[in-house]
Amino acid sequence: MGELHRKRGEFAEALACLAAARSRYAEVHDEAGIAETLHYAGSVAGQQGDYAQASALYRQSLDIRRRLGDKPRIASLFSNLGIIAWFSGDFVEARVYYESALSIRREVGDRWATANSLNNLGLVLRDLGEVAEARAWLEQALAISREIGDRWSVANTLSSLGDVALTQGDLAAARAFLLESLAIGRELNDRTGLAFLLEYFGVLAAKQAQPELAFRLAGAAAALRETIDAPLSPSEQARLDHNLEVNCPEWSAENRKVFIDEGRRLALEDAIILAVGSQDPATP
């Protein structure tokens, strides 16, 4: 239940469930259970921007998993430590962690986790400038996630593919990826995922010469992130700001703020309707 709450961006509820679980696991001396709660709590801390706490919790869990010889969970923790390195802007270290995780996951035959690692590798390769390779990894991840029927992973990878397609300037493909991801995200009420999608739709609008829409969507995403206490990492925020500025160079900070503030006042559903309904997929 704690992990479900985390995936829905309900972090207070997630932490309450995980604390209760960890207490009961401790009562019965279940080390594997304690490690699991530490792992999930680390993911909550990471999504809330507390990277030092996330890393500390992951490493506590990793110590237990190594003692137990649990290869799948060791791989998962390598993956999460890679995410923290990625959030912190250390893309080279993130790649090392991701590749270590992928190697173990392939060894043990965990297809769901392999798809997760392929998704993570795709994103870090994008940040390292290897964009075509990034898209190829992500397409492999999507194929596996579709085959095993994990809709959250499908939505997550579609979102990543939309981002990479935006980087490539393939706007029609980006829109298709983002729309499918959005449909699943709304169904699952994944508010963290929806925040990313509003940002990606904002970048799409900027690339389609719709700056007012771009900044409104960026404002709506920022408000949602504040509501769920899930800020962008510094590297992600810098990337979003750069994408908006490069594609809207004539807009002053004052003009941007007007429309960002308008976006902040939008209800989430209104922001989603604005993102989907105001963009022409045929626009070059």
User: What is the mean pLDDT of the segment spanning 189-215?
Assistant: 96
Residue type, 226: E
Task: Read off the pTM.
Answer: 0.81
Overall domain count for the chain: 1
Query: Is 15 contained in some domain?
Result: yes
Q: pLDDT by residue (tens digit) across 141-159?
A: 999 999 999 999 999 999 9
What's residue 282's pLDDT? 40
Query: Is 30 contained in some domain?
Result: yes
Query: Is 13 contained in some domain?
Result: yes
Query: Is 65 contained in some domain?
Result: yes
- The rounded percent of the chain whose pLDDT value lies above 90 is 87
Query: Is 263 contained in some domain?
Result: no
pLDDT over 80 (residue 281): no
CA distances from 116 to 37, 76, 267, 275 (A): 20, 9, 31, 27
Query: Is 33 contained in some domain?
Result: yes
Query: Which residue range is the domain that position 21 belongs to?
Result: 1-69
Query: Is 51 contained in some domain?
Result: yes
Query: Is 260 contained in some domain?
Result: no
Mean pLDDT (the chain) is 94
User: What is the mean pLDDT of the segment spanning 100-129?
Assistant: 95
The CATH number for 64's domain is 1.25.40.10
